[in-house]
């Protein structure tokens, strides 16, 4: 299934004393078709298909107790813009601690309770191990194909 969406790189970890930053990319995939008119000038009503808007957050660096608030704020902002789904790409993470895992677990549940789709794209083996140690592998919505490819 083809999904329309946007992506935002999120630099999650601070390096050399810097604060993590967020770069945004805004593109709407909303279908804006107008109702067609018949030959008599009367409006003809037609249902316009609604395209789901999935936003991908691409994480890089470290997701830890110092940077998790950046991800939380970004997820909140994206939800306020009216997305129907969020994908969090963990492939660029170099490290994640228990705070990072907890933020992803909490936000996943919160988004799903609010009616948003929420999916994680697994990262490296070290990132996978952090989720496994926390007992979260079976509880979080990892993309199945990506998870199988990342396992040793």
Q: Which of 149, 78, 150, 151 is nearest to 116 (CA)?
A: 78
Helix (H) or strand (E) holding 63: strand 53-63
CA dist., res. 143 & res. 20, Å (int): 26
Beta bridge partners of 22: 10
What is the per-residue pLDDT across 100-146, written as a single tens digit (0 to 9) for each?
A: 999 999 999 999 999 999 999 999 999 999 999 999 999 999 997 64
CB 66 within 8 A of CB 45: no
**CATH number for the 1-11+53-141 domain, one of 3.30.750.24, 3.40.50.12160, 1.25.40.10, 3.40.190.10?**
3.30.750.24
Tell me the DSSP string of 72-90.
HHHHHHHHHTT-SEEEEEE
Q: Label residue 13 by pLDDT band (50, 70, 90).
A: very low
pLDDT of residue 52: 76
In this structure, what are the phi and psi dihedrals at residue 69, rounded to the nearest 5 degrees? Answer: -65, -30
Angstrom distances, CA of residue 82 to CA of 15, 30, 126, 131: 32, 10, 33, 29
Question: Tokens at residue 110, please?
Answer: 């919160």
pLDDT of residue 23: 32
CA 116 to chain centre: 10
Q: Which of 61, 57, 52, 89 is nearest to 73 (CA)?
A: 57
pLDDT of residue 48: 56
- Spans of all domains in the chain: 1-11+53-141
């Amino acid at each position: 299934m083809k999904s329309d969406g946007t992506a935002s790189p999120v630099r999650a970890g601070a390096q050399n004393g810097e604060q993590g930053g967020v770069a945004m990319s805004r593109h709407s995939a909303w279908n804006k078709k107008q109702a067609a008119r018949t030959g008599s000038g009367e409006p003809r009503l037609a249902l316009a298909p609604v395209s789901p808007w999935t936003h991908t957050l691409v994480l890089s660096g470290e997701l830890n107790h110092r940077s998790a608030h950046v991800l939380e704020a970004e997820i909140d902002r994206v939800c306020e813009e009216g997305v129907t789904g969020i994908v969090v790409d963990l492939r660029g993470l170099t490290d994640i601690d228990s705070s990072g895992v907890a933020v992803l677990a909490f936000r996943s549940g919160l988004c799903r309770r609010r009616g948003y789709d929420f999916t994680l794209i697994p990262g490296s083996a070290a990132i996978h191990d952090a989720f496994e140690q926390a007992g979260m592998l079976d509880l979080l919505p990892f993309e199945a194909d990506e998870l199988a490819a990342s396992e040793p």
